[in-house]
Amino acid sequence: MTRNRFFKNTYRSNYRGKVSVEDAQKHQQYIDDMKKDAAFYYLDHIESSMIPHSILHKIIQKLKTKQNNSLTLQEKAYLIRQNLNALHNLVEGKTSFNQYKKESLNERIKYSEHLEEERIRLEKARELELIELQKGQEKLAQETRVREQAARDKRKKLESDPNYIAQQREKALLNKYGIHPYHISTKQRSKLLNILNLLDNKQRLQEQDAVWLNSEGRKFFTDEVKMKFHRVEANFYLKQYEINKSDWHAINASSQLRKCKASKEAENFLENTNLSSNKNEKILSAYFTTLGGVKRDLEKSDIAIEHGLKAHDHSSQDYRPCTLLGAIYMENHEYNLGHDWYSKARDRGAPENSINVDLRSILLKLDKAKRSEMVTSLLKKDPYIYSWLKDLK
């Protein structure tokens, strides 16, 4: 494609749009002329001599056009202020141009020397500033080291204080068992800390302490405390079983293992005992009830039901196998069977509160749809007994 003959030659500048080549050439010529004028008057070492419309540039242009007499007082004062004495004398007519050239060369040398002196002065000033900065940083670092050492000494002294050590141990103990220190009254503190220290050292609680945790101190019976309490109890009964092989100790140990989330351990333990060969019906019922509960925990519901039925066969008037079967069937969403077994448990003396706790625990594990389904089924069976479930629906 040929270039349109009507287009001018152009070049792209730093400005938006395009500038013609002719304009660019004119601009370059203008710059070259400024440099020549500045060099002619021996002023090209001064930057402002080549800056358009600067005072020095205006003075040069007036000299160039023989307008020496038109210099203003401001322009003359500028020459004196900038130590351009030779040029000032030339303007005033006190010296010839040839004499001016000689004097301007001297001024140029002095100007260069002045620049060099200024450079050295600034360099020394920067060096001094850097030295002061370094001193300030060193001082700040020293002060920081002193403060940190003082803090370490204070902390070391504090950490060796028996009262502080006791406070920190107490704080760690309470934190370990999920108890907020502000919830403890002065009256309760000593008893609670004694209980926690016993449990933390794997020592069994006395009966009155266990009763206190389940009554007055129930707010301190946190999940962490319960886990530790039941683990210590389990270890106690396991040890007793090793000593005298009492079947009841084995059953109690397994029950405590369930409560501290160690059902797998309970399963292994029970299945390696000889309790199933015992002739005592109560022991057999308790054994199969406990093992059924263990299987339920491990989500082996078919085997759990089988053990629950065996437990009921060995002791048909005990409500415990009935509550076990009721819970398993409820968890399997067989609500009619669950209700029937819970009814049998009630007939055999099961505390209503215990059954309600079971049902609430099961309901809270269900999603919204299944929970509604279970509540609807139970209310249909007995709206009076299960009236408390309306709130959960």
14 has a pLDDT exceeding 80: no
Per-residue model confidence as pLDDT tens digits over 18-40:
678 888 888 888 888 888 988 88
Query: In the structure, what pLDDT confidence band is assigned to residue 17 with cuts at 50, 70 and 90?
Result: low
pLDDT of residue 292: 96
Query: Rounded distance, CA 311 to CA 308, Å?
Result: 5
Domains and CATH numbers, the chain: 20-133 (no CATH), 176-272 (no CATH), 274-393 (1.25.40.10)
DSSP state of 16: S
Cβ–Cβ < 8 Å for 291, 269:
no
- Taking the alpha carbons at both ends of the chain, their separation in whole angstroms is 84
Query: Rounded distance, CA 249 to CA 270, Å?
Result: 11
The two structure tokens encoding residue 325: 């079967």
Per-residue model confidence as pLDDT tens digits over 372-391:
999 999 999 999 999 998 87
pLDDT of residue 16: 55
283 has a pLDDT exceeding 90: yes
Mapped onto helix, strand or coil, the DSSP state of residue 12 is: strand
Per-residue model confidence as pLDDT tens digits over 83-104:
888 889 888 888 888 898 888 8
Model confidence pTM above 0.85: no
9 has a pLDDT exceeding 90: no
Rg (CA), the chain: 51
Q: Helices 335-347 and 368-381: crossing angle, nearest 10°?
A: 50
- 47-86 burial code (b ≥16 CB/10 A, e <16): eebbeeeebbbebbebbeeeeeeebeeebeebbeebebbb
Query: Rounded distance, CA 300 to CA 332, Å?
Result: 11
Query: In the structure, what pLDDT confidence band is assigned to residue 11 with cuts at 50, 70 and 90?
Result: very low
Mapped onto helix, strand or coil, the DSSP state of residue 185 is: coil
